[in-house]
Amino acid sequence: MTQPFRHSTHYESGVWSGVTAELLDGDRIVVSAPTELRTVSSAVHLGGFAAAGTVVNWMVPVPYECEDPASDASGRLGKWGYDPNRTVCLMTAAKLTHVSVAEEEGDCFKVVCFTTSGTSNSARAGLVRETFSAYTPGTINTIVLIEGRMTDAALINAVIQASEAKAAALQDLNIIDPESGLTATGTTTDAIVIGVSGQGYGNAVHAYAGAATTIGNAIGRLVYETVYESSRTQHEK
C-alpha cells in the first residue's frame, strides 16, 4: 500500500508488468493496462460492461455544473488524445495526489487497486434521505485491474466485495453520515471500475469472487486498504 503521487507523478506495478498510472497536469490520473480489459463499472463515461485499456480519473472543479457530464467527459478524453470508445472516465473532487495503491499476486491472478477518496458528502445506504441529480464534491473512486480469467458472475462478485470493503473501511475510520449521525457506507457519488484481462494462467477461470475465494479475498483486502489510507489522509497536505 502506498501513495506514490505525493512524491512523484508516475507509478509502475510491481506485480503486473505494463500496468502504469500517471498524474497529468494535476487534474487527472491515467491508469493504463498492457492489454484491453473487459470492464464493468459505474463510470460516468463508458459505464456498464465495456472493453477498455485505459481508465481516467478526472478531477473536476468545485462546483462542477454540467447538464451532460458523460458528453463532457467524452469530449475531454478526445482532447487529451484518448479514444472515448476504449477509455473509461471517472470524475472526482478528491485530491489526486492522495491516491492509494495496493497490489497482490495470488492464486492464478494479479490484482492492482487504485482509490481516491473525498468524504465531504458521506452517506449511509439504506436510509431515507434527500435525493438530487447534481454532482456533489467528494467521492470515493476505486479502480481494480485484474490479470486472469473471470466469469461475468465473478466480476459482479468483485463489485460486491469492493463495496463491502469500502463500507468496512469507513466504519473503522468512523466516517459519519451527517444527515443521520450514523456510520457512512460511502458517499453519494462513489464509482468503481473492475477490469479483467481474460488472459493468462492457462485454463484457470475464477467462477466466483466472494469473500471465501482467493481472488475475492484479495480484492476485498486491497480495496479496504486503499479506501482506508486515501480516506484517512484526505485532509493532509
Q: Is residue 228 part of a domain?
A: yes
Say if residue 177's pLDDT is above 60: yes
Q: Please state, in angstroms and rounded to a whole number, the distance separating the CA atoms of residues 197 and 193.
A: 13
Residue percentage of the chain with pLDDT more than 90: 92
Q: Please state, in angstroms and rounded to a whole number, the distance separating the CA atoms of residues 58 and 30.
A: 8
pLDDT bin (cut points 50, 70, 90) of residue 61 is: confident
Say if residue 136's pLDDT is above 70: no
Interval 74-123: pLDDT, tens: 999 999 999 999 999 999 999 999 999 999 999 999 999 999 999 999 99
Q: Is residue 48 part of a domain?
A: yes
pTM of the model: 0.96
66 or 153, greater pLDDT: 153
Q: Please state, in angstroms and rounded to a whole number, the distance separating the CA atoms of residues 151 and 146.
A: 12
pLDDT at residue 133 in the model: 54
Say if residue 134's pLDDT is above 90: no
Go through 100-119 and write b for each residue having 16 or more CB atoms within 10 A of its CB, e for each that does not: bbbbbeeebbbbbbbbbbbb
Residues 166-184 have a mean pLDDT of 97
Q: Is residue 22 part of a domain?
A: yes
pLDDT at residue 1 in the model: 78
Phi, psi torsion values for 51, nearest 5 degrees: -120, 125
Q: Is residue 168 part of a domain?
A: yes
**CA 106, 197, 51, 40: dihedral to nearest 10 degrees?**
-20
Q: Is residue 118 part of a domain?
A: yes
Q: Is residue 204 part of a domain?
A: yes
Cβ pair 13, 112 in contact under 8 A: yes
Residues 191-207 have a mean pLDDT of 97
- Cell numbers at residue 87, please? 477509455
Expressed as residue numbers, the domain containing 125 is 4-232
**For all residues of the chain together, what is the average pLDDT?**
95
pLDDT at residue 138 in the model: 76
Q: Is residue 13 part of a domain?
A: yes
pLDDT at residue 66 in the model: 85
Say if residue 160's pLDDT is above 80: yes
Say if residue 132's pLDDT is above 80: no
pLDDT at residue 28 in the model: 98
pLDDT at residue 135 in the model: 53
| Other beta carbons within 10 Å of 204 | 11
Q: What is the CATH number of the domain that holds 174?
A: 3.60.70
Say if residue 67's pLDDT is above 90: no
Q: How many distinct structural domains can be found in the chain?
A: 1
Say if residue 35's pLDDT is above 70: yes
- Cell numbers at residue 66, please? 454540467
Q: Is residue 237 part of a domain?
A: no
Comparing C-alpha atoms, which of 177, 66, 45 is closest to residue 123?
177
